Structure 1
Amino acid sequence: PSGGSVLYGDGAIGGTINIVTKQPKNKKNYGSLNSEIGSYGLKKQQAIYGTKINDKLSLELDYLKKEKDGYRDYAKDDLESFGLRSRYKLSEGEFGFKYNYSNTEFRAPGSLTKEEVDGDRTQSDSSKKRLDGKTEKNDFIGDYVYNIDSDLEFKLLGTYTHERYSSNRSNYKTEIKYLKPQLKYSYLDDSYVVIGGDISKGHTTDFAYGKGKAEKDSLGGFLINSYTIDKFRFTQGYRRQNIEYNGLKDDENKNKVKYNKKFKEDAVELTGSYLYSDSGSTYVSYTKGFRAPNTDEIRAWDGEYKSQRTETYEIGIKDYIGNTYVSTSVFYIETENEIFYGKNDLTEEKSNRNLDGMSKRKGIEFSLEHYFDKLTISESLTYMETEFKDGKDIPGVPNVKGVLNLNYKFNDKLTLNNSWEYYGKAFDSSDEENIREKVDSYLISGISMSYDFKDGLIVSAGVNNLFNEKYYDYVGYSNNKRSYYPAAERNYYLGVKYSF
């Protein structure tokens, strides 16, 4: 939750999610077939097949195709993807390789005025400011792990991404190369030190016009120490990262000129936790992270770009009390030069830029999960106050967000799930001066049911936005009027999945 800037570097300031897929056990061949239909022309098919070629080598393939007309006129969201994954076990480690290809075709119907929303919220933008385009992406990922001895481990991660974006508004392609070696030494029980580095090269070219380009080169090194004594654990981490930009951009006369910009950034992590019982722990942490603009963001940037720097202070506690798991934290976040996407000060066009001064966020978050035999109830509530620009609220960010989920197992085959999400009032995303009335809060609910035949077949069905709440994905301001992007009303889906 506190971010991972020391280990992951540029960008990992809000938190990190680590997904580890399970390896199949005692199966030479395995896989699944999944089909789903739903409202707005939803059709989705997915097939996964995996095999253990021998005791060392495994291979997995997956294919996904999704077609969907949007809730509003003209909207479209189609996706086709293919993936390949393999893993080879070595005597003292393993090697993995992943490849994924995706092709997304989309149409966005644009914004509506309040009068248009009241007349027909499903219509598209009458001013023809609609978006039509596609994104084609190739990802290659390789990882290598070598256990030098029982206490020393070497890891190497390498990735290559190539993305091509084209639409009726802009066209560009982006390439990113990344390499990360690291060593982990375990010197005591539950204590270790990690030392490593990473290098990345990013390149974005505006191929619609042939001359605009942005290059981003980054070189970083980091050190993390985690020390455990009795019931206490202390973690310290430091990263230094050098970032350099080169490219071409327009000057005041629309002539292409070369530019060069360099940043030197630091990241810090200091965390202490105390395991006061078998189930309970409390912690306090300080993290300092950063985010430098991506090359595709620089294409549409207002003014000089700067690196965003964030400091986070957090205190929390986690424990089981009776049949309830409790997690709560209090946090305070300061962000300097926050990267923000919004309306240009001089024109109606939106662009990326750095917010002036310091942004502040402070709040408290509760999470509870109750277990009652067949019923599981989970809740989370976040209250956050924001501040920037002489005490103004950060636009587009509600003070309150709450989630409630109820899961009931009638038996080992039939399961019912009901979810609720509440979002409080917030200033529209263009209202940096807080001069307009806040956008209304909203509450949405969904219900779903699944039946597991216990022979590999699972049938599921559900209703999203159960009570047909009229709310918006985004609210901004342009041409002296509020601009609305209506969210979907009540919609349905039905799915069938067979696993073997």
Structure 2
Amino acid sequence: MRTKIALLSLILSAVAHGADIELGKSVISATGFETAQKDTVKNVSVVTAQEIEEKNYQSVTDVLKDIPSVNVIGDSSSPKIDMRGQGKDNADSNVQILIDGVTINTIDSSHGSTPLNTVAVENIERIEVIPGGGAILYGSGTRGGIINIITKTGAGYQGGSIGAEYTSYGTKKGNVSYGTTLGKLGVSVDYLDERYRGFRDEDESDNKNFQTTLNYDLAEDKKLTFKYLRFEEKGTYPTSLTRKQINEDREQSGYDSGILPSEKEIKKNEFSLKYEQKINDKIDFNILTSYHDMNMVTHEYKDMNQVMDMDDTRIAVKPKMRVKYRENDELIFGYDYVKAKLDRKSIGSMKISPTKTSYIKADSNLTKETNSLFVLNKNNFGKLEFTQGLRYEYAEYDLHRKYNNLLPLDETVSEDNFALELVTNYLYSDTGNIYARIERGFTSPKPTDLYDKVNNQYTLNNLKSEKYLTYEIGARDYIYDSLVGITGFYTTTEDEIYKDTQGLNFKFKNIGKTERYGVELSAEQYFDKLTLREGYSYIKTKIKETAPGESNTKGKEIGNVPNHKLSLSLDYKLNDKVSLSSTTVYSAKYYLNNSNTGGKQNSYTVTNVTINYYPMPTLKLYTGINNIFNEKYYDSVSMKGNEYMFDPAAERNFVFGFKYNF
């Protein structure tokens, strides 16, 4: 509590004494077209390449951990990104994560999470975070919000950089980038090689990341951008620890003597081609096509001896147009086609009892194909803006599942949904606005949600799409030269999807009704040599109604959702050669599961500090201390039967590196 009070006091004092706010940031996630941040209705968080470099973040996960509206659950190998209280089980389905506008969420979240850290932070232009909503532009699964990672294009750039980094756990990273402009063609190439070594034993991997971008100006108002990303990872990862193991050694892998660590190998290719044209002063058009393929092979050794080979592919075509009419009115409309496919093969064995072993041979071939139409209209009447949005989405599923020699599942089903949004925005001054928003959105099931497994038999269930209704009010303005944003929201969801697992059996069900509400506060100030950023998020959740026959969670909070999160960031430029950055994040306690049994995950406060030294304009040397006060906390805590299982987070550690521009 003292930590919360201290951080809130710093926020309030900074709000009262800031100066010279800069609002040069722009976003594209709010409308699908590049828009100045000050002209967006929602309170969007934007982390720029400059901020990423000043703080020397090591991964996308590290960036998101510092944002108050984002809750990162789990360790670095498979983090789940949550916003607005979706919880550990539903975060992957209700927070859309995009790279350059291309969704990267997998269609199977039961065997891992969205591969977030496949983008090197050195290649990121900015990260846009929009808490809550976005169903009109992005369709299913945006109840929690949207995170769009925008990579660098290389257009208009001549030169390159080399860099290297070393951490106290033994991670070694080297990267090189080069960009040039040849007439109308901009080219950039980036390569990163990382030998990652984590805090715990067996937490290690070898990663390679390659990205190239071609940006071609076809004419003054026509542009073509091609991007290719290749990511490879091969490594081992630790398992959760019992309380006894935690007391013995927090750094151990959790594997007993003679048991090999679990292995994982990922190969990912992602292509995108975007055509943009400004037809005239009133009409803009773009079309984004993309292809994504990720192959992941895992070998589990502890609880089972199993090899799983999973291939996740996605093809998307997304044209859209913006038409400006009258003086300040505009209409945005478009069409989305997405075909996602999962091929997964598993073979292995599991020890059921000292005398009984279950053998596994399973094949899955699952497809989800969606077609969507959307329209977003904005009208201006003096200081009042009115926005109306509508989306229709039709999804068709092909489900093919085999398990050992039992009767296979072979079904085709379909779902159709619609989303609706109404916004009123009052521009009461040149710098301030207040808005109210209502959104009716949906989350259609993933293919893996549509069947149950009971006694080794797969049967089609009658799972419904989730349907949510969000009420939101927000404001943004200068207060004593400090930019302040505040948002309050209330969301109710009908038929929320959850998985009921009992041993080797599982069923997917719809919870009757849930609610989430909270407040998000942000502020930032730019002094002569000092930049301050503050944020606070409060979230409360409740399961209002349960499915027939299910009553143990009624009235309970959704697990893995901290009620409070605070962040304070400080960047100070001592002189032309030395700068200092620090970030402190506080996360409150939370329940471990939806039944609110087994206690809570403890609260924690983590402070990271980094120092940058520029001996010459083209060379940066840096060092940092992560978790400077050596807080002992956990990336996640879970229950296995009646026993706590812990994933300990990294203790105090150091990083050293350099970057040379040429």
Distance 1:263 1:112 in 2: 41
Structure 2: any 5+ residue segments left out of the alignment? 1-130, 301-307, 347-360, 455-459, 544-552
Question: SS in structure 2 opposite 1:421?
Answer: strand
Alignment of 1:186 onto 2:324: yes
Distance 1:307 1:129 in 2: 41
**Counterpart residue identity of residue 374, structure 2:** F
Work out the CA distance in 2 between the residues paired with 1:232 and 1:198: 30
1:76 match? 204
How far off is 1:20 after superposition? Answer: 5.1
Q: Following superposition of structure 1 onto structure 2, how do residues 443-462 of structure 1 map, counting pairs within 5 Å? A: 443-462=605-624
Contact 1:216–1:295 (8 Å) recurs in 2: yes
CA distance in 2 between counterparts of 1:252 and 1:38 reads 46
Query: Who is 1:384 aligned against?
Result: 539
Higher relative contact order (CA 8 A, sep 6+): 2
- 8 Å Cα contact 2:175/2:190 also seen in 1: yes
> What is aligned with 2:485?
327
Task: Give the corresponding residue for 1:347.
Answer: 503
* Alpha carbons of structure 1 residues 364 and 198: separation in structure 2 relative to 1, 3 Å: same
TM-aligned CA deviation for residue 390 of structure 1: 1.5
Say whether residues 1:272 and 2:402 are aligned partners: no
**Judging changes above 3 Å, is the alpha-carbon distance between structure 1 residues 436 and 220 closer, same or farther for their aligned structure 2 residues?**
same
The aligned counterpart of 2:392 is 240
CA shift for structure 1 position 361 = 0.9
1:46 and 2:175 are equivalent in the alignment: yes
Match of residue 426 from structure 1: 590
Measure, in 1, the Cα distance between the counterparts of 2:373 and 2:542: 33
- Contact 1:318-1:325 within 8 A present in 2 as well: yes
Matched, 1:125 2:254: yes
Report SS of the residue matched to 2:571: strand
Q: Secondary structure at the match of 1:313?
A: strand
Tell me whether 1:159 sits opposite 2:290 in the alignment: yes
CA shift in 2, pair 1:198/1:189, >3 Å: same
Partners of 1:265 and 1:367 in 2: CA distance: 34
| Counterpart for residue 497 of structure 1 | 659
Higher alpha-carbon deviation: 86-95 or 236-245: 86-95
- Stretches of structure 1 lacking an aligned partner (at least 5 in a row): none
In 2, the alpha carbon distance for the partners of 1:286 and 1:156 equals: 28
Letter in 1 for 2:537: T
Which amino acid is 1:489 matched to? E
Q: Is the 8 A contact 1:173 1:207 kept in 2?
A: no
Note if 1:205 corresponds to 2:358.
Answer: no
Question: Equivalents in 1 of 2:193, 2:472: separation in Å?
Answer: 42
Q: CA deviation at 1:229?
A: 2.3
Helix, strand or coil: the match of 1:338?
A: strand
Is contact 1:193-1:223 (8 Å) kept?
yes
What's the offset of the Cα at 1:288?
2.2
Deviation, structure 1 residue 357? 1.8
SS of structure 1 residue aligned to 2:245: helix
How far has the Cα of 1:291 moved from its partner? 2.5
Looking at structure 2, the residues matched to 223 and 161 of structure 1 have their Cα atoms a distance apart, in angstroms, of: 26
- Deviation track 1:6-34 (CA, whole Å, cap 9, x = no partner) reads 1122233322344556666865x222112
Q: 2:299 & 2:150 partners in 1: Cα distance?
A: 38
Contact 1:446 1:465 in 2 (8 A): yes
Shift of 1:266: 0.9
- For the pair 1:64 / 2:220, whether they are aligned, the reply is no
Per-residue CA distance 1:111-150 (angstroms, 9 max, x = gap): 1111110111111223559531111110010011223332
Is the 1:326–1:368 contact (alpha carbons within 8 Å) kept by the matching residues of 2?
Answer: yes
Pair 1:406 & 2:570 matched? yes
- The aligned counterpart of 2:604 is 442
Cα distance in 1, alignment partners of residues 223 and 559 from structure 2: 47
Higher helix fraction (1 or 2)? 2
Partner SS state of residue 501, structure 2 = coil
| Distance in 2 of aligned mates of 1:443 and 1:415 | 23
Structure 1 length-normalised TM: 0.92
Once the two structures are overlaid, the 10-residue window that deviates more, 135-144 or 297-306, is: 297-306
SS of 1:310's partner is strand
Deviations 1:342-401 (A, max 9, x none): xx431278x794551222111112212234432222221111111114110111111111
What SS does structure 2 have at the residue aligned with 1:242? strand
1:312 lines up with 2:312 in the alignment: no
Shift of 1:90: 1.9
Q: 1:15 aligns with which of 145, 162, 180?
A: 145
The count of aligned residue pairs is: 493
Paired with 1:149 and 1:126, the residues of 2 have a C-alpha distance of 64
1:104 counterpart (233, 252, 274): 233
Deviation at 1:183, TM superposition (A): 2.0
Q: Secondary structure in 2 aligned to 1:412?
A: coil
Q: How much does 1:280 deviate?
A: 1.2
The structure-2 alpha-carbon separation of the partners of 1:205 and 1:407, relative to structure 1 and needing over 3 Å to count, comes to same
> CA separation in 1, counterparts of 2:490 and 2:566?
19
Q: Give CA-to-partner distance per residue, 1:318-347, whole Å, 9 cap, x none.
A: 111113221111111123343457xx4312
Decide which moves more: 398-407 or 204-213: 204-213
Residues 1:230 and 2:382 aligned together: yes
SS of the residue corresponding to residue 197 of structure 2 reads coil
**Offset of 1:275 from its aligned partner?**
1.4
Q: What CA distance in whole angstroms lies between the structure 2 residues aligned with 1:165 and 1:316?
A: 42
Residues 248, 479 of structure 1: CA spacing in aligned structure 2 closer, same or farther, 3 A cutoff? Answer: same
TM-score (norm: length of structure 2)? 0.70
Letter aligned with residue 15 of structure 1: G
Kindly provide the amino acid, as one letter, of the partner of residue 424 in structure 2. Answer: G
The one-letter amino acid of 2:137's match is L
Give the match's secondary structure for 1:118. Answer: helix
Closer, same or farther: CA 96–210 of 1 in aligned 2, 3 Å:
farther
Counterpart check, 1:140 vs 2:271 = yes
Q: What whole-Å deviation, never above 9, does each CA across 1:412-431 have from its counterpart, x for those lacking one?
A: 33211121111111111xx3
Q: Answer whether contact 2:378 2:387 (CA < 8 A) is retained.
A: yes
Is the 8 Å Cα contact of residues 471 and 487 (structure 1) preserved in structure 2?
yes
Identity fraction in percent: 33
Change (3 A) 1:46 1:463: same
Corresponding position of 2:415: 263
Cα deviation digits, residues 91-116 of structure 1 (max 9, x gap): 23111111111012232211111111
